[in-house]
Amino acid sequence: MKTYLMWCAGLLLAGLLLGAAQAQSVEAEGTSPINGPVGVAKRLALQDAIRQALLQANAQVSTTTVVSSRGVVSDNVRFTARGNVSNVVILDEWTDETNYYVRIRAQVPSAIAVINRATGENAGMRNARRQVSTAQPGLDAQYRRKIAITQFHVLDRAQIADLPNIEIVLARELKRRLDVDGRVRTSDASQYLLPLGDDGVMSQRRILGALPAAQEVGQLATEFAESLGVQFVVTGVIRDMGITKHLLGARVRHLELDVIVHDGITGVEVARHRLNESVVDAGLFDFPTTTPVLNDKFYASPFGQRVNHVLDKLVGMLVNDLNAQLFTARVIRAEGKQVFFDAGGAANIKVGDVLNTFQLSQFAVNDLPGQKALGFSETPTSILVVTQVQRLFSVGELESETARLSPGDIIRFEP
């Protein structure tokens, strides 16, 4: 028994020593030339200091730097350090005539931790590459945006009488294909209908009585996004699924769809596509009431094959649209310098990422007549260094000692 206890104590001591060896406190200095606003130089110097700290611990760093004849014009940093970078503290900061300097202390993974974790994770990445071949290069594009897809509007319901609930089924199928693609995250909002115009369609929060009545599509898109926890809202219109007869007797079924993307912060329309197809010798379908519309029989038909092609095309269009927008997340909680926001590992946020923060104005900015909301003004506040990452949320620390954020404020990656 004594031997067993000594053996257990030895294991415990070894575990403690290994845990201590896997993290270390590192001090590092970063610098950036002052080629414009001092705030930009300060941000770049902080990025450089974190990069230097990780390099001291043999962590892996991925950076993108764009240089012109005027010097560095953008510098983004993403870290693939296998471990948690925590307790990032700015010890000192100063400037001279040309440069901004920052000195930090941070807890970073040691070389042992990096090597051990990299071995397993590299194997995992090899497997992931075999499974997902659609990943796109680019720093900001690596963050996965989250969207809600609402049901489609139907301009003429008589044209879809043979395709029951196609306006809902299309939205759900588009969501499913985006999930398989894997480059964005989705939320099923097919039970909701975002209005096309000022017709006062109720949103989820309005039904719950949380907000006063409103008419604007953009404001409703913002409410949808906030209540569903997404960054963008996608809706669509079935403009035409009718059948026409040509002079020679051939029947042609039409497929005309609009797809619209709204920004979830401002409500502004950021993308719109119209797809128009025609299929010869495509008639009506005869489905039993219990049979799903988009089944094998449907996809085997000429019209179903065209719908399948259009849905695949929409996936690529939407991914390109979303990756063209800046990655944005919302503050969900703030405790002094510590900020919680609603994007985590599922969105590819990494410990050590450096993001910008903005305070949103309480009231929307209206157009000149004062009838239409154009969005909300933003006030830059501070740099945020990500210190903890969970699957659906992350925690970061504000660089500024005085800046404070509130729930609903914005976290953004800006090239």
- Residues 163-181 have pLDDT tens digits of 989 999 999 999 999 999 9
Burial of 196 (0-12, 13-18, 19+ CB in 10 A): middle
Confidence of residue 99 (pLDDT cuts 50, 70, 90): very high
Q: Are 396 and 411 spatial neighbours (Cβ–Cβ below 8 Å)?
A: yes
Cβ–Cβ under 8 Å, residues 261 and 321: yes
Higher pLDDT, 277 or 21: 277
Average pLDDT for residues 202-207, to the nearest whole number? Answer: 37
Given this model, what pLDDT does residue 87 score? Answer: 67
- Which pTM was predicted? 0.66
Q: From residue 304, how far is each of 177, 264, 308, 373 by CA, in Å?
A: 16, 32, 6, 40
Least confident of 153-162, 363-372, 378-387: 363-372
Q: Does the pLDDT of residue 199 top 70, yes or no?
A: no
What's the pLDDT at 216?
62
What's the pLDDT at 190? 92
Strands 99-109, 146-154: pairing kind? unpaired
pLDDT over threshold 90, residue 68:
no
In angstroms, the Cα distances linking 199 to 88, 195, 271, 367, 371 are 50, 7, 21, 20, 15
- For the chain, the C-alpha Rg in angstroms (whole number) is 26
Strand 243-245 with 269-280, pairing: unpaired
Nearest to 104 by CA among 392, 387, 391: 387
Q: Is residue 130 pLDDT above 60, yes or no?
A: no
Measured in residues, the chain has a length of: 415
Spatial contact of 257 and 274, defined as CB atoms under 8 Å apart: yes
Q: Which pLDDT score, from 0 to 100, does residue 176 have?
A: 96
Q: Does residue 129 register a pLDDT over 60?
A: no
Looking at mean pLDDT, say which of 99-113, 120-134, 184-198 comes out highest.
184-198
> For residue 286, is pLDDT > 50?
yes
Residue 357's pLDDT band (cuts 50, 70, 90): very high
Query: Which of 166, 173, 309 has its CA nearest to residue 234?
Result: 173
Most confident of 230-244, 246-260, 370-384: 230-244
Which residues are within 8 A (CB) of 276 and not within 5 positions of it... i.e. 6 or more apart? 240, 254, 255, 256
What domains are there in the chain, each with its CATH number? 22-131 (3.30.1660.40), 144-323 (3.40.50.10610), 328-412 (2.40.10.410)
CA 318 to chain centre: 13
The listed range with the strongest mean pLDDT (153-162, 264-273, 380-389) is: 153-162
**359: nearest Cα among 405, 392, 398, 327:** 405
CB 409 within 8 A of CB 359: yes
